[in-house]
Amino acid sequence: MTEKVKKKEKYSSSGKKHYSAPALEKGLDLLELLSSEVDGLNIAEITSRLGKSVGELFRMLAVLEQRGYIETSKDSDKYRLTLKMFSLSNRFPPIKRLTSLANPLMRRLSYVIEQSCHLVIYYEGKGHVVVQQDSPSTRIFSVRLGAEAPLMNTCSGHLLLAFSDVEEREIMLNKIPENHPRPNKEAFECILNKVIKQGFESIVSAQAQGVKDIGYPVFDDRGQIVAALVVPFIGFLDGSHSVDTNLAHENIKSTAGEMSSLLGFGV
């Protein structure tokens, strides 16, 4: 190893080596910044947020645009993320397999119960929506594909935590981001016990008024939870919706069970 490379090595408190790659770090900083900006940012806003000069970032923006990771619209100078990152993540075999078998089942479910539904997986301290299906109804409430869900105070988070083994659950809890709700130990234990005992979760949404989230776990061939199938159930005051929550429960449960079977659970 050359002296030049050795000088760039850094060590964390755990003793792990940290390497410096300035150009790569700038590119990742750009992607992470734009990931939280739905309407995008122009170059002046980007340089201000990252504390960099136009000269430092101009080529990086140009290359990311050429490779299809970011884009600008014809009538705007703002850069925004494309769906390429999401597309790449879905090429990962387990997710690709899950989404391919889930799509037709979720289309059928949403048609039968006239409600939207979505599928959430766990990754790095959060839930992530990997499949989303709109209701055929003229009135729709749905969660955006790719949206993140806190593990605490959400139907999907409760399911993902409750049906994970103890060791995995501890890892998940330790990775909850600082800006997400943190668990109260006593209340959290009550939630987990309730979800495990009843086999599902049904709570009033903490994010949207008038919505009751109903969810069931999806398991793989090893009996491990791989996703939570969730329906943000909305009622209709005019009585035009014929499917009640009991019938919704039956269909959500059977759909989650069918997904699990296709993944090899219970075989």
> Does some domain include residue 244?
yes
**What's the chain's average pLDDT?**
85
Provide the phi-psi class of 15: left if phi over 0, else alpha when psi is between -120 and 50, else beta: left
Based on the fold, state whether residues 57 and 113 are members of the same structural domain.
no
Nearest Cα neighbor of 97 from 121, 124, 128 is 121
**The domain containing residue 28 runs over which residues?**
19-82
Based on the fold, state whether residues 72 and 104 are members of the same structural domain.
no
Segments in the chain below pLDDT 70: 1-17, 87, 89-94, 236-242, 267
Based on the fold, state whether residues 77 and 202 are members of the same structural domain.
no
User: Which domain-ending residue is among 82, 103, 129?
Assistant: 82
- Residue 28 CA to residue 30 CA, distance in Å, equals 5
Indicate which CATH number applies to the domain containing 155.
3.30.450.40
pLDDT tens per residue across span 137-181: 777 777 888 888 999 989 999 999 999 999 999 999 988 888 887
> Does some domain include residue 113?
yes
Q: Is residue 101 within a helix (H) or strand (E), and if so which, with residue range?
A: helix 93-113
Q: Residue for token digits 């760039």?
A: 8
Based on the fold, state whether residues 70 and 179 are members of the same structural domain.
no
Based on the fold, state whether residues 41 and 158 are members of the same structural domain.
no
pLDDT, position 15 = 56
Chain centroid offset of residue 51 CA? 29
Using CA atoms, how far residue 219 sits from 38, 255, 256, in Å, is: 33, 12, 8
Based on the fold, state whether residues 156 and 180 are members of the same structural domain.
yes
